Structure 1
Amino acid sequence: MAVLLLLQRREQVTAAEVARELEISERTARRDLDALGMAGVPVYSRQGRGGGWRLMGGARTDLSGLTAGEVRALFLVAGPASAATPAVRTALRKLVHALPEPFRAQAEAAAASLVTDPQRWGSSRVEPRPPRFLDELQDAVIRGVQVRLGYVDRDRHETERTVHPLGIVAKGPSWYLVSHTEAGRRTFRIDRVSSADPTGDPVHRPGDFDLAESWRAIADEVERRRTPVEARAVCAPQGIGVLRMGFGDRLVVGGSTTDGRIEVVIRGNDEAILAGELAGLVEWIDVTGPPAVRDHLTSIGKMLVERYAT
C-alpha cells in the first residue's frame, strides 16, 4: 500500500527511492514493485538514465481517493500505537511517509489518540457498549480542537467547561477522555458526557505529552485512592506466587531481608478487610505494620481460636 501511494504521489520512483522512503533494502523494494504488477496493478519499469517505475497511463486506484477521514480510519483500525507490535509500528511509519503531506499529521494523531488498558477497576462490570460521544471526542483529539464539554459527575451534578482533548483511553469496558483544562490535567468518563461541541480553537498540547505515560500515572493515582491502606509484611520466597495471584497490582515486592524472606507491601481500601484477606496467609507472611492491621489480625486470631479450638 505504501509503495502504491508513493507511485501515485510522485508518478515515477526508483527502487532506491522506495527503499530510502520505506526503510527497506533495494532488493525488497524491487520485489514489492514486481508484486504490485502480479497483483494486477498496471505498474511498469523504464530502463536506463531517467528510468524508474510508473503507473501505466498515469493509472489511479481507489487508494488515490482516500479522504482525510478514511486515512484516520485506516490508522485507527491498525490499533493504538502504544499497543502495536514492532511490525505494526514499522508499517504505520512507512504508510505515513507515503501519504500526501496534508494527511500525515492526522494519520499520526489517529495512531497516537488511543490507549488500551485491559484491566478493569476492581470488580467493575460496566456495560461494554461504546458511549454516545466517543466518536466526536476522538475526532476532536485527532483534529486537535477544543471542546465545550457537558459533564455529569458521580453526584449527578451537571457542569459545562471547555477542555483541550489530549487522548482517549479504553480501560476494560470503560472509556475515558484525558484533557487539559483551566484546573490542570483532568480525566472524564465518556459515558458521563452529556454534550460535546467542538469550538474550532486549537488544542494547547504540551510538547512532551505522551498518552500512555500520562494514563499510567493517572491509573496509579486512582489505585492509590481506591486502596489507601498499606500493610507491610515479610514473606517466605515460596509464598510470593500466592500473593501475586491473590493481590495482583495491589502487591509491591521489595528486597530480601537478612533471613532470606522478602519485604512486601499490600494495599487495601479498609484496615479490617485487608486484615481478613491476610489472615489466611499466615503460613507465608508476617505482617509488620501498621498497628491497626495487626490489631485486626489479633482479633481475627482470637475469634478463630474461640470458635474452633478443641
Structure 2
Amino acid sequence: MRADRLVAALLFLQTRQRVTAAELAAELDVSERTARRDLEALASAGVPVYSQAGQGGGWSLVGGARTDLTGLTAPEIRELFLLTGPDAGASPRTRTALRKLVRALPAPLRDGAEAAARAGVADGTDWAGTDTEEPLLAPVQRAVVEGRELRIGYARPGRDPHERTVRPLGIAAKAGTRYLVADTEHGLRTFRVGRVTSVAETGNPVVRPEDFDLATAWRTLAARMEDRLAAVTVRGRAAPGTERVLEGLLGGRVRYGERTTDGWTAIEADGPSPEVVAARLAGLGARVELHDPPEARAALARIGAELTALYGT
C-alpha cells in the first residue's frame, strides 16, 4: 500500500464533508475496493475517520478534523504556484498534484494559490536555439529517488554518445537546465539531463553517503565549472554601442574599464581559453580589438583569414 496514496486520500477527505469509496476511487484512479481498503487503513492508523452506511452515507473525518500536511505559508504557496502552476509548463503529473494541493488548502489560501497559478506562463523555447528538451528526465528522476545505479549514454556537443556507469545522487537546476549529480569512478560529476541519450538500470543499488548534502555538492561542482569557464582573461577595447552585444555574448564575464577620447572602452573578458573568447567576439568584426594574450589575437586572425578565403572576392 503506497504511503503517498494514503496521504492523497486524507487530503481528499479534508476537502469534503463526506466521501464515498467510489468518489475516492475516481480521485485516486484506483478500484473502489482499493479505495475502501485505503480508508480502512487510515482508520486503523489512528486517523479519526469513520464510515456511515445507508443512503447519503460515506466516510468522514470525526468533527471535521484536519491534519496540516503542508505547513506552507501564504507567500510560499503563491511562490510555488507561480513557478509550477497549470500555465507554467508543468507536466501532467505536476498539474494533478497541484489540483489536489489546491483542494487541500484552507479556503483563505485557496484563492491566492489559484490566482498565482493563472499569473505565470513558461515557454520552453530558447531563442538562442539551444536544445532544452529532456526526454529521459523521468527515468533519471526515478533512479535518483529509488537509488538505482544507471548505465547512461551521454553526448557532449559535437561528439558521439558514449556510455558510462553512474550512481545518481540528485538533480540540480540552473537557469532552467537540469543536471544530474552522480557518483562515478572519477568521483562526483554532473551530467546535463538533456544530453542523456539512453538510460538502463544495472540492478545495483546506490548507497548514499551518510554525509552527502546535495546543495553543498552542487556548490562545489558549480564552483569547479565556474573556474574552468574563467580560466583565462582576454583584454582589449570595444567600440561605442557594443556593450549590450558583449553582455549577450559573454554575460557577466565581461568587465569595462576607462573610456578613451575616441569613445572606445577598455574591456576584460573571462573564458575557458583565448580561442573560445575570440570565437565569441569574432562576429563583432572591427568593433572589438583584442590586445592580449597573443593567442586571442592569433585566433581572430585565423578566423578572419578563413572567412576571407571562403567569402572574399
TM-score, length basis structure 2: 0.44
